[in-house]
Amino acid sequence: MKPSTAYRQYHPKWYRTRVSTLWWSRKWSYLKFMLRELSSVFVACYVVILLLQLHALRGGPDAYQGFQDWLKDPWLVILNGVSFLFVLFHAVTWFNLTPKAMAVRLRGKRLPNVLVAAPNYVAWLAVSALVVFLLTRQG
Amino acid sequence: MAETITIEVARYRPEQEGEPALQSYEVPLNKDWVVLDALNHIKDHVDGSLSFRWSCRMGVCGSCGMTVNGEPKLTCATFLSHYAPGPIRVEPLKNFPVVRDLVIEMTDFMEKLQSVKPWIVRQDDPAPAKGEFLQTPEQLDEFKQFSMCINCMICYAACPVYGLDPQFVGPAAIALAQRYNQDSRDQGEQERMDVLSQHEGIWGCTFVGECTEVCPKDVDPAGAIQQYKLAATKEWFKSFLMPWSKQ
Amino acid sequence: MTDSLSSEMPSHDVLLVGGGGAGLRAAIAVSEVDPNLSVAVVSKVYPMRSHTVSAEGGSAAVIKEGDSLDEHAYDTISGGDWMCDQDAVELFVNEAPGEMLQLEHWGCPWSREPDGRVAVRPFGGMKKERTWFAADKTGFHMLHALFQTSLKYRSIARYDEWFVTRLLVEDGRVQGVVAIELMTGKIQAITAKSVIICTGGCGKVFPFTTNANIKNGDGMALAYRAGVPLKDMEFVQYHPTGLPFTGILITEASRAEGGFLLNKDGYRYLQDYDLGTPQPKPVLRSMELGPRDRLSQAFMKELEKGRTLEGPYGPYVHLDLTHLGKKIIDTKLPFVRELCLKYENIDPVSELIPVRPVVHYMMGGVHTDIQGATPLAGLFAAGEAACVSINGANRLGSNSLTELLVFGGRAGRAAAEHALQDKPLSAGIEAQAADEKKRLEREFLHKSGGTEPIAGLRGEMQSIMEKSAGIYRTGTLLEEAQAKVAELKERFRQVAIQDHSHTFNTELTAALELSYMLDVAEAVVECALHRTESRGAHQRIDFPRRDDERFLAHSLVSHRPDDRPRVEYLPVTITRWPPGERVYGRPAAPAPPG
Ligand SMILES: Cc1cc2nc3c(=O)[nH]c(=O)nc-3n(C[C@H](O)[C@H](O)[C@H](O)COP(=O)(O)OP(=O)(O)OC[C@H]3O[C@@H](n4cnc5c(N)ncnc54)[C@H](O)[C@@H]3O)c2cc1C
Ligand code: SF4
Ligand code: FES
């Protein structure tokens, strides 16, 4: 027990609970929050990789080839994989909160949340399909 | 002897002790009792020095928010039998300084509430004698939900962003700002936007959604925050792309 | 302790004791008279926690075509069994629409018609539809709109969670209050040129009540102790439909929307008590939409006949909303459904709601004129704590919220005018405040060895009040209560206080509240004993008739130290509506000649 500062009459002595280090493990929603915070590290890594890529591009075909080889390093594959998962996670979070941010109404009735979020997913699928199409056509 | 249940209450008497400690009481497990009834039983018949706030006992005054078995709850709407066979732990709301026992300090919220200008702002000011401002039931519906907030502080207790950064305006105050922004009679959105954008805190909210989850009145403060962010982003883009458009 | 009270004695122009609907309306009114006047709102709870928050049904004001101010006045006066001052009522119905529109401009989310105009609903005892509502959380929305609007006035200073213990009176005028700051325990004098009492009702004097824990008649007792008479304290309103055990109110709006009251045989028993004949749809001023006093009395008669049901918390009858359907219930009465589901585990869409009469409202209060001024210079009162009187012997539902606005506003303006006269503070005030501090320390904070637990005394007071000053009263029972209350007051000197701390000491406030309630109980019993007639909410089995000859008059009860209180009478002001028979559910007899 820590010694407390003494109470002085008519001066309230408030107790401030410190946030415990493991507070985020108490709840799935808190954990998700922490994961989103944590994702910034990976996003930063991704940005660095992108910058390196640009740098390599400027350095000519050889440098770019070296960069591509470097990308095959298993650590980097894992890093990129994790970043990708986080991006997915963010996408889902933001899609799910569109119905919160915009109350869409049809004939005076508020549309159910699923219906508002759905177009996001549809658009997402469409864009992904397009990307897959472009990639496979080239290959 | 009727059935009883153990209730562990966080006691903190600043004039005697340095930090809170739990104290156990046995109370009758009456099926009609809420947690608040048990606390009153203790205060009336066991230990008169137990301090907590309450008033309406019908979930509308917002006084009786406490942490019950780790969750923020209105104790007048939380039945004892729900936690049988016990024990039940009752603590003050998290994220606030504790004044004494189960009483927390909430002037911080009162100041934040005032800062978001929770009143009708009009450029013109027609005399009431001219009649009411017309407002259709649909227009009323736009903000009705946000106007149901009883200021019980339960959402603040559940908000990790507020816990980590007490500067954060917080769920209920933003919901109430949004309540006026969405009111067809109001013309103060810009003023409120200026106040809310002053602090970064709002961007710290990455949609934990707990505030909406715990809110006993279905106010959906998380929705209000997202609406506000969207509006602020639009505003930002506008001033970025068309700097001359700023009035 | 060396700190003197004066070193930092804050002073204001107008001080409000209470931050409910009446208090906040008054505070804004003062600021509107003169934004330079400094206003203090002193409240024992944060203003938005005040009990106005729990009012459900609505607030009356004439707004629709086909209605008239005179009809509102007549409904109010006949509903009050001709005990209302008619000049006050006329003024009230006149100013009501303006006040309600003002509140609309301040953002109150009134329920609307499809075309955007304010909607109104029928209400008990009202001949026309004129009750404005915000779903079934009218008081909640009104209070929050007022509170949030009050935040924009820089001249309003708030003393949140300050508990007033005494009025400071010197040289025949009130000059401030002494209050305890709950957070720190500091006992502090706050001076002011005018003081307005807006402390609300006193339902907690009784065991079963819709009233919150904070409704202890504080302001009535403060005024009473300062020598100001209380008026019409025998008129206590029972609401016919409270939930057993909790006393939570099921709003009259549920009957206005078409709910039925059924006895144990499923029979709409009100038809047996001269309240009209049952119709499938609600009929104004008839059956379930009769006035509250008559409905509560009918319950007691059913009880006598053995036609009520029996539950763990006493007798009850059923309120039937099932025929309204889910849609009406969810749009017009969502809070009723929420309360039933949360507190009784009953869904009114498909089940009957158990209800019983519960103490709801105090028609009486601090004696004021139509400006809200009391006989003590500088002291004003408004809201449920005051008695103007527009409620007479029985308040009509939805008049009270409007009263907060009309008379809160009037008292605020009158108090502002009074403050502008700018009289200096009397020299003796500081000493008086110091005395009060010593009293609180001697009698409570530093006292040990008390033997009477607060809860015990409170329980005994509540049960004797229910037994003898309830829906039906007799002289014998009232005399018993008179002796009992005196005994309880004596025993209160030995009240046991375990908590001697300064920080948020709620045992201290509970003791002080009990002492206020004992004074209020004394006043109620005294007035009820003296009024040997039956009128409105005051029903004497030993004097079952209304006696206009002797009692068309307000009771004024004054405190006398070391003696029984004195009861005097003040004639009721009659302007245009001579006393007549109260008729519900059938056409009224032709008006008496004259
Ligand atoms: C459940 C319920 C439903 C109702 N429904 C309706 C309705 O539908 N329509 C209608 O017209 N009326 C209704 N009423 C009646 C109406 O709500 C009340 O009469 C009215 O709200 C009283 O308001 P007030 O401002 O006088 O007092 P309150 O709102 O009770 O406020 C009292 C204030 O005084 C303060 N106070 C008290 N004592 C002290 C002290 N010692 N020191 C400092 N501050 C103090 C409190 O903190 C509080 O701020 C209802 C009442 C109840 C209980
Ligand atoms: S938003 Fe909900 S949880 Fe938060 S203060 Fe308001 S009512 Fe309470
Ligand atoms: S006591 Fe009022 S909300 Fe619980």
Rounded to whole angstroms, the Cα distance separating C285 from C166 reads 43
Taking the Cβ of residue B110 and every Cβ of chain A, the question of whether any pair is shorter than 8 Å is answered with no
Task: Tell me the chain B residues in contact with residue C46 when contact means C-beta distances shorter than 8 Å.
Answer: 106, 110, 151
What is the best residue among B33, B37, B40, B55 to mutate for testing ligand 3's pocket, by most ligand atoms within 8 Å of CB? B55
Residue C138, Cβ density class (10 Å: 0-12 exposed, 13-18 middle, ≥19 buried): buried
Higher-scoring residue by pLDDT: A75, C221? C221
Task: Give residue A1's pLDDT.
Answer: 43
Residue A106 pLDDT level (bands cut at 50, 70, 90): low
Nearest CA, atom 1, ligand 2 = B172
Rounded to whole angstroms, the Cα distance separating A76 from C546 reads 95
Domain residue spans of chain A: 6-93, 102-139
The residues pairing with B4 across neighbouring beta strands, listed in sequence order, are B28
Task: Give residue C4's pLDDT.
Answer: 47
Rounded to whole angstroms, the Cα distance separating B78 from C313 reads 20
The rounded Å distance from CA B64 to ligand 3 centre is 5
The rounded Å distance from CA C498 to ligand 1 centre is 30
The 3-class SS string of C523-582 reads HHHHHHHHCCCCECCEEECCECCCCHHHHCEEEEEECCCCCCCEEEEEECCCCCCCCCCC
Tokens standing for C64?
């629709």
Taking the Cβ of residue C148 and every Cβ of chain B, the question of whether any pair is shorter than 8 Å is answered with yes
- Tell me if B226 and A29 make a contact (CB, 8 A cut-off): no
Task: Tell me the chain A residues in contact with residue B66 when contact means C-beta distances shorter than 8 Å.
Answer: none
ipTM of the modeled complex: 0.95
Nearest CA, atom 3, ligand 3 = B59
Task: Tell me the chain C residues in contact with residue B144 when contact means C-beta distances shorter than 8 Å.
Answer: 109
Would you give the DSSP letter of residue A10? T
Residue C172, Cβ density class (10 Å: 0-12 exposed, 13-18 middle, ≥19 buried): exposed
Rounded to whole angstroms, the Cα distance separating C228 from C205 reads 20
The residues pairing with C177 across neighbouring beta strands, listed in sequence order, are C167, C190
Q: What percent of chain B has pLDDT over 70?
A: 96
Q: How many helices (H) and strands (E) does chain A have?
A: 4, 2
Tokens standing for C106?
């301040």
Distances (CA, A) of C494 to B247, C450, C563: 69, 5, 20
Indicate if the alpha-carbon torsion angle C478, C484, C485, C487 is positive or negative.
positive
Chain segment B50-95, per-residue pLDDT in tens? 999 999 999 999 999 999 999 999 999 999 999 989 899 999 999 9
Nearest CA, atom 4, ligand 2 = B155
Chain segment C535-560, per-residue pLDDT in tens? 999 999 999 999 999 999 999 999 99
The answer to whether the beta carbons of residues C31 and C372 sit under 8 Å apart is no
- Tell me if B133 and C53 make a contact (CB, 8 A cut-off): no
Tell me which residues have their CB closer than 6 angstroms to ligand 1. Answer: C 17-23, 42-45, 47, 50-52, 54-59, 138-139, 163-164, 198-201, 210-211, 214-215, 218-219, 249, 251, 361, 383-385, 397-401, 404
The answer to whether the beta carbons of residues C546 and C533 sit under 8 Å apart is yes
Tokens standing for C406?
């009309």
Task: Give residue B112's pLDDT.
Answer: 94
By Cβ distance, the residue of C102, C117, C502 closest to B134 is: C117
Chain segment C40-67, per-residue pLDDT in tens? 999 999 999 999 999 998 999 999 999 9
Query: Could you give the residue numbers annotated as active site of C?
Result: 239, 255
The answer to whether the beta carbons of residues C55 and C35 sit under 8 Å apart is no
Chain segment B133-163, per-residue pLDDT in tens? 999 999 999 999 999 999 999 999 999 889 9
Q: Which fold has domain A6-93?
A: 3 helical TM bundles of succinate and fumarate reductases (1.20.1300)
The answer to whether the beta carbons of residues C50 and C220 sit under 8 Å apart is no
Strand, helix or coil for residue C97: helix
- Answer yes or no: is pLDDT of B240 > 90: no
Strand, helix or coil for residue A105: strand
Task: Tell me the chain B residues in contact with residue C453 when contact means C-beta distances shorter than 8 Å.
Answer: 44-45, 48
By Cβ distance, the residue of B47, B56, B62 closest to C51 is: B56
Name, in order, each residue with C-beta under 8 angstroms of C328's C-beta and a sequence gap of 6 or more: C257, C258
Domains of chain B: 4-104 (3.10.20.30), 107-245 (1.10.1060.10)
Residue C385 Cα: closest atom of ligand 1: 26
By Cβ distance, the residue of B20, B98, B208 closest to A33 is: B208
- Answer yes or no: is pLDDT of B33 > 50: yes
- Which residues of chain C carry a pLDDT beneath 50? 1-6, 590-594
List chains touching A (3+ CB pairs under 8 A): B, C
Would you give the DSSP letter of residue C46? -
Task: Tell me the chain C residues in contact with residue B77 when contact means C-beta distances shorter than 8 Å.
Answer: 342-343
By Cβ distance, the residue of B15, B58, B77 closest to C501 is: B15
The rounded Å distance from CA B149 to ligand 3 centre is 13
The rounded Å distance from CA B65 to ligand 3 centre is 8
Distances (CA, A) of C380 to C24, C222, C233, C235: 14, 12, 18, 21
Tokens standing for C359?
């103490």
Residue B77 Cα: closest atom of ligand 3: 4
- Answer yes or no: is pLDDT of B245 > 70: no
Task: Give residue C364's pLDDT.
Answer: 97
